[in-house]
Structure 1
Amino acid sequence: MKLFGSYTSPFVRHCRIVLAQQQRQFEFVSTDYTQSAQQSPAMRVPFFSDNDLKLHDSSSILRYLRNSAGQSFCATPEQFDLYCMVNTALDTTVNLFLLERDGITAADVSYLQRQQSRVEAILSELNQITWPETEVENDAHLRLACFLSWAQFRERLDVQQWPQLQGFLAAMNQQAWFANTHPALT
């Protein structure tokens, strides 16, 4: 098994956590933008190989890992919807971050303002949920923890605006299995 990605990617982090929790042996191949554009049709990380199987998105990788270990990936429609909502906010935030690095900001483009509003609306909705304090129950929760941690690391949002989410992230940061994969530890 090979997982290609960067240590700072929240999508890659989610896969690394699941692999570690399952105690799977795998090779991590550090991959940058140029390499991902050459080696994956999705032109992004993570991508994954296991013998002849090649996967190009974190969600398909997670589903494969969970299913091959006899675990469920987003077992209910509600869990999957939550996962998709978090994933939308994460993907949008990453895109806004990358555009800003290229000098394009939400203040410059009305479409990007709508995207920023989308992230804030999702976070406000997620803030209405009572989150677990000690265990991540499913991949939707784990994806949220990876998103919030990355967003703080990259200074993309101030979690204090959403106290339920702030408490959830603080609780996750106390879990060694989560804290040991923080992007700052690369």
Structure 2
Amino acid sequence: MKLIGSLASPFVRKVRVVLAEKKLDYDYELESVWDAGTQIHLSNPLGKVPCLIMDDGTPMIDSRVIVEYLDTLTPVCKLLPPQSRDRASVKCWEALADGVLDAAVLVRLEHTLRPAEQQSAAWIARQMNKVHAGLAAMSADLGELPFCKGNQYTLADVAVGCALGWIQFRFPEIDWPEDYPNLARLYAKLSERQSFKDTVPQ
């Protein structure tokens, strides 16, 4: 398999963490989707990473689709429960974490791609409200549990860890570790895993 991605994308990081946890071999091809000469559209018509090229050359797109597929390839470190209710709960955690990232990415793009005089303060505020509401919801749902779903490390933790890491990377002014000590404890624990150490955004 070959993964097309970047070193900064939290969605690519999520896939890389899962690949590492599942101990799956793959080639990694760096691609900057913002470069004029990007070729990502040849594999993903949406022009986005991550994109997983499977052994037969078929592309698979969207991080949520990719990680769910990867979890089926080996019983090593199962990240998604087989039961429908528990599985849906883990996927809801992932959707919440990804939603926080979607909003934060929109704010970053507004700041970096638009001249200051064209930026919409109302749009930025709307997206940042989603980020802060999402962080508060993650903290409330985590409570004092060791992991998002209790005692077991799952895809929920991977998704939340990647979201927290990217916000810390791109929005250091958001002091979520101070506001949500339980999320800070979870992130510190996740950061000790080799899969997270090897995929720090840059």
TM-score calculated relative to the size of structure 2? 0.80
* Cα deviation, residue 6, structure 1: 0.4
C-alpha distance in 1 between matches for 2:23 and 2:104: 30
User: Identity of counterpart residues, as a percentage?
Assistant: 26
Residues 113 and 104 of structure 1, relative CA distance in 2, 3 Å threshold: farther
In structure 2, the residue corresponding to 1:29 is in which secondary structure? strand
Asked if 1:163 is matched to 2:181, the reply is yes
Pick aligned residue for 1:83 from 74, 82, 94: 94
Indicate the residue corresponding to 1:141 in structure 2.
157
Deviation at 1:69, TM superposition (A): 2.0
In terms of Rg, which structure is larger? 2
Q: Where in structure 2 are the equivalents of 1:80-159 lying within 5 Å?
A: 80-103=91-114, 108-128=120-140, 129=142, 130-132=144-146, 137-155=153-171, 157-159=174-176
2:4 is the counterpart of 1:4:
yes
Q: 1:131·1:168 contact (CA, 8 Å) conserved in 2?
A: no
Paired with 1:140 and 1:81, the residues of 2 have a C-alpha distance of: 8
**What is the match of residue 44 of structure 1?**
48
CA distance in 2, matches of 1:49, 1:90: 24
Please tell me whether the aligned partners of residues 12 and 58 of structure 1 are also in contact (alpha carbons under 8 angstroms).
yes
**Contact conserved, 1:2 with 1:29, CA < 8 A, in 2?**
yes
Q: How many residues align?
A: 182
Change (3 A) 1:26 1:69: same
| CA distance, structure 2, for counterparts of residue 136 and residue 29 of structure 1 | 32
Q: Which runs of 5+ in 1 are unaligned?
A: none
1:136–1:142 contact (8 Å) kept in structure 2? no
Unaligned runs of 5+ in 2: none
Q: Distance in 2 between matches of 1:10 and 1:136?
A: 22
Q: Secondary structure at the match of 1:15?
A: helix
Q: For residues 18-62 of structure 1, give each alpha carbon's deviation from its aligned partner in whole angstroms, at most 9, with x where no partner exists.
A: 112222111101011133345311211101111143111111110
Instruction: Tell me what 1:32 maps to.
Output: 32
Rounded Cα–Cα distance in structure 2 between residues aligned with 1:138 and 1:175: 13
Q: Match of 1:68, SS?
A: coil
Q: Name segments (4+ residues, structure 1) moved above 3 Å.
A: 70-75
When residues 48 and 123 of structure 1 are mapped into structure 2, their CA distance, relative to the original with a 3 A threshold, is same
CA contact (8 A) 1:14 1:142 kept: yes
RMSD after superposition: 2.2
Task: Check conservation: 1:2, 1:49, Cα contact below 8 A.
Answer: yes
The 1:172/1:54 distance shift into structure 2, 3 A limit, reads same
Q: Specify the code of the residue in structure 1 equivalent to 2:175.
A: D
Match of 2:60 among 52, 55, 59: 55
Alpha-carbon separation, structure 1, partners of 2:26 and 2:3: 7
